Chains A and B, each alone.
Chain A
Amino acid sequence: MGSEILVQVQDLKKYFFKERLFSTEKEPIRAVDGISFSIRKGETLGLVGESGCGKTTAGKAILRLIEPTSGQVFFKGKDLMSLRGEELRKLRPFMQFIFQDPYESLNPRMRVGEIVGEGLEIHGVARGKEKRERVEEVLEQVGLHPQDAFRYPHEFSGGQRQRIGIARAIALRPELIVADEPVSALDVSIQAQILNLLMDLRDRLGLTYLFISHDLRIVKHISDRIAVMYLGKIVEMASSEVLFRQPLHPYTQLLLQAIPRLDPAKREEKIFFKETFLSLEKERGCLFAPRCPHFKERCAREAPFLVDHGDEHWVACHFV
């Protein structure tokens, strides 16, 4: 992995303005609330957090699959947010997205060959025979058979469909892949196959991943660095090794503790934290404060910033 930075995200925000069912108040939902990080070429950054913390929204906003509310994303030095139509389209092949649900993300009426080759044609990369050859090559790279190009998605199992999704993503020889929970819908034994495949492809094709998942074991396994998200913000970021050895944010600590140990002898008593009812008020303080075991008065008043505690170990907590 080089030191060249491929993606740089700066203060990215995505708010949804929705009228809530039982209130007239028009408070936005701050799905992504000012996140910043960069990913080096060839690196895998894991983005981890629980449901609703904004992971998927962040991933989509970074690729501009949805329009961010504000912030900047630099991809190979170009400011994606300032690009229009054709300029953005030209960059598209280099940044691809893999979806969580292999059932819903493939058009059931298209043959696998068309699904995988569609992008090649749209972006004018290859047509006709050349396109067919490229599709065959890619299918083999993801462990499918060239003949599978003539079949339809419903003829495949969940794991194979995810392979099709991966083939579609790598067909254009991208540099960055945002993978959103790419194995969550799969059985454990198939998860392992797909994780192996993603890691092989990364090494062989020199890919850079933003790997989004709620599963800490999986994130640790595949990532070089990990960013932990809570309610739209990154609360901690470090190399995976350091994050697991020395988690500093109380939320990360609790998250790591909650991972089942796979060893019945180590059913230690865990520390638990409050499950809250309060829909968070328009708080100025730390978003994690209501659930934090170390809550102090300052936390209610003042939101902590993400601060570097050395060796690129970033933490957003007043008391670290």
Chain B
Amino acid sequence: MRHPLLEVRSLTTHFFTEDGIVRAVEDVSFEIYPGEILCLVGESGCGKSVTGLSILKLIPIPPGQIVRGEILFNGRDLLKLSEKEMEGVRGNEISMIFQEPMTSLNPVFTIGDQIMEAIQLHQKLNKRDARKKAIEMLDRVKIPSPEKRIDSYPHQLSGGMRQRAMIAMALSCQPKLLIADEPTTALDVTIQAEVLRLLREIQREMEMSVMLITHDLGVVSEVGDRVAVMYAGRIVEYGPIEDIFHEMRHPYTRGLLESIPQLEVKKTRLNAIPGQVPNPLNLPEGCKFHPRCPLRIEDCRREEPPLFEVKEGHYSRCLRWKECR
């Protein structure tokens, strides 16, 4: 039996706002094994980022609060750690990168300064060795002439190069887990393809685990090992990548895939999912997807379905998963 590196158990994160309680993440459980890429996929507002931020306890409190759950990292519950202990985890054992590198890179410092700072925060290295290490990291993410680039300011780099620099910084302490929140969303397709390939390569070399957050099933199909599909704060389907793409057992997963135009066949109409994502302050009773679901029956209104085990390692939160193919 492999042991998971990260086990998230019943994570529930709410925001207590003036307008009411936003149940951003509700009873979310999943695990990430050593050396795999788990993708968290879903549409805007479904709770992907809040899940990622909760793992590192970066939720703004208030209005946010992790109401329930456990986050076991190597068996240790991160939710029980003090802020001081968490600081030793962040950027060291678990790193995070974000969609827009410009917001996480400081424009007034060179990328070298910033990578060196990240290194020296967790490792006892003198300036010279830290610089050497930083150049090594830039080389690793395939930035050409890293010994020159290290003294560049973020605005002097292209979007793709900035995202590489971000990755270099996040990986400088050789984390065991990287949480990447929409790392390629701001990039052009050709650059996206390269950054994804790089991420995959480095992840293999370093035997690192990655939690990749994205709204794009295309990205998932390119890099994922396993996938959790989220809708309105819940995981609705969870399983190995082949199952999610070829034997999906949740109507939302199917709907998402069918919303994307196929390259191979010319169809005049897309099978769009009708309606829209529910207001987080006013979620429907029962299954959160039922108002938009082609398979809904009376029971779907009444009770929120549990995650059914479709087969080993593949789960669906749909009463009619057997009929959904």
Contact = CB atoms under 8 A, between A and B. Distances in A.
A54 to B, nearest CB: 14
Interface stretch (A32-40, A251-259, A294-302): A251-259
B217 interface: yes
A264 interface: yes
A275 B43 contact: no
A242 interface: no
Interface string B253-276: 001111111110011111111101
Interface string B178-217: 0000000000111111100100000000000000000111
B306 interface: no
A271 to B, nearest CB: 10
Contacts of B241: 264
Interface stretch (B25-33, B129-137, B218-226): B218-226
A193 interface: yes
Contact of B272 (A196, A218, A255): A196
B308 interface: no
B161 interface: yes
A123 interface: no
Contacts, number: 118
B123 interface: no
A195 B269 CA distance: 8
B293 interface: no
Contacts of B222: 260-261, 264, 267
B151 interface: no
A270 B197 contact: yes
Most interface-central of B161, B194, B197, B259 (chain A CB within 10 A): B259
Interface in B237-257: 241-242, 245, 255-257
Given A259-B218, A267-B221, A188 B43 contact: yes
Contacts of B274: 193
A275 B261 contact: no
Given A196-B269, A218-B261, A264-B221, A259 B277 contact: no
A191 B267 CA distance: 15
Given A218-B261, A261-B221, A50 B190 contact: yes
A195 B197 contact: no
B221 A196 contact: no
A260 B241 CA distance: 14
**Range of interface residues on chain B?**
35 or more
Interface string B51-84: 0000000000000000000000000000000000
B117 to A, nearest CB: 24
B144 interface: yes
Given A261-B222, A272-B197, A192 B190 contact: no
Given A195-B270, A216-B189, A255-B190, A188 B261 contact: no
A262 B260 contact: yes
A257 B193 CA distance: 9
Contacts of A191: 259
Contacts of A254: 190
Contact of B193 (A160, A196, A258): A258
B270 to A, nearest CB: 4
B44 A187 contact: yes
A92 interface: no
Contact of A220 (B221, B263, B271): B263
A199 interface: yes
A272 B221 CA distance: 18
Given A189-B273, A190-B276, A262 B192 contact: no
A217 interface: yes
Nearest to A272: B194
A152 interface: no
A275 B193 CA distance: 12
B155 to A, nearest CB: 9
Contacts of A255: 189-190
B259 A260 contact: no
Given A187-B44, A260-B219, A244 B263 contact: yes
B112 interface: no
A17 interface: no
A200 B263 CA distance: 20
Nearest to A265: B242
Most interface-central of B43, B217, B261, B277 (chain A CB within 10 A): B261
B158 A275 contact: yes
A106 B189 CA distance: 29
A27 to B, nearest CB: 18
A188 B194 contact: no
26 contacts: A188-B260, A190-B272, A192-B259, A192-B272, A193-B273, A195-B272, A196-B270, A196-B272, A216-B189, A218-B261, A220-B263, A221-B261, A255-B189, A257-B193, A258-B193, A259-B189, A259-B218, A260-B216, A260-B222, A262-B260, A263-B221, A264-B221, A267-B222, A270-B193, A270-B197, A277-B144
Interface of A: 50-51, 157, 159-160, 187-193, 195-196, 199, 214, 216-218, 220-221, 241, 244, 254-255, 257-265, 267, 270, 272-273, 275, 277
